[in-house]
Amino acid sequence: MQIIGPGNIPADIKHCLLTVGTFDGLHLGHKHVLQHMHFLSQQMNNIPVGVISFSNHPRAVLMPDQKADFLSTLDEKLNLFNNEHVDFVYLIEFSKEFAGLSALRFVEDHILPFEPKGLVIGRDHFFGNNKEGNVDVLKQFGKQFNFSVQEAPEFVLNEINVSSSIIRKLLNEGNPEEAARLLGYPYFFTGKVVQGQRIGTELGYPTANLIVHDRKLIPSPGVYASKATINNKTYSGMLYIGHRPTFDANELSIEINVFDFQGNLYNQMIRIEPVKHIREDQKFSSREELIKKIKQDEKITKLILGL
């Protein structure tokens, strides 16, 4: 898969099929668009299939004061595109200046250089200043500049119109199971193990304390049955997300007790997949009460994960 940007369009990917969007999380709805493009490509002598997307998230620019919880980092998104056999991804840096482009200027600057055969757009897609561009506007441009425009069939799963915003809502409600069903893969985040306060060790449940990308969505506070991938090997464990109210802590803590792991994890990168929410974050009257609850959490986690 090629990764390119404005002013750098190789000749071998021209006359292609294009789609445009943010594609946060690359969920089943997004994959449905890509699958439709691959089908069309086969009908057109296997012309290249490409994605126009952004190197940063538009919400971070347009709503800088709001918490920016994204389902995928740029590297994660590119890996997901690669898994879907996309031939190339054309990345634009989203800025306020870019947001002010007219629909026509966007087409002239970022679509016409590909000399595309066609454009496939997801349902309710808008582009250009004040969202002036839509499927009907694109079809007009298509007639003017000689490329076809198709609206990808709507993707609905059990009466749910799959979207990134719905998946974010599910994760913020502590429902990674349903989020995974709409994504088509387990939601995950990656963190670097750093030195903690060793509270878990004192309680008999040593944990790896994680620092996660500040733009990545972290599920709602609580305890989760989880999977942890370390050096390409997957382990089971208990994930804790919260503010450790029993110890009057303030900063959000993300830490995991990895079952059956021996070794030093400091400075290593761990991929975490929350599987199921077990309980909310809560304050306990004593360490003894907390330890008793953690033992219950461990039993429930092992039951959920089939251990």
pLDDT tens-digit map of 207-255: 889 999 888 999 999 999 999 999 999 999 999 999 887 776 778 899 9
**pTM for this prediction:** 0.91
- Name the residue with higher pLDDT: 207 or 85: 85
Asked whether the beta carbons of 135 and 151 are under 8 A apart, the reply is yes
Q: Which residues contact 254 (CB under 8 A, 6 or more apart)?
A: 191, 209, 210, 211, 212, 218, 239, 240, 241
The average pLDDT across 61-69 equals 77
Distances (CA, A) of 208 to 59, 201, 250, 268: 31, 10, 18, 10
What pLDDT is recorded for position 68? Answer: 66
Neighbours of 205 (CB within 10 A): 19
| pLDDT single digits (tens) 145-165 | 999 999 887 777 877 788 899
| pLDDT single digits (tens) 41-55 | 999 999 999 999 999
Q: Which domains does the chain have, with CATH numbers?
A: 2-161 (3.40.50.620), 188-304 (2.40.30.30)
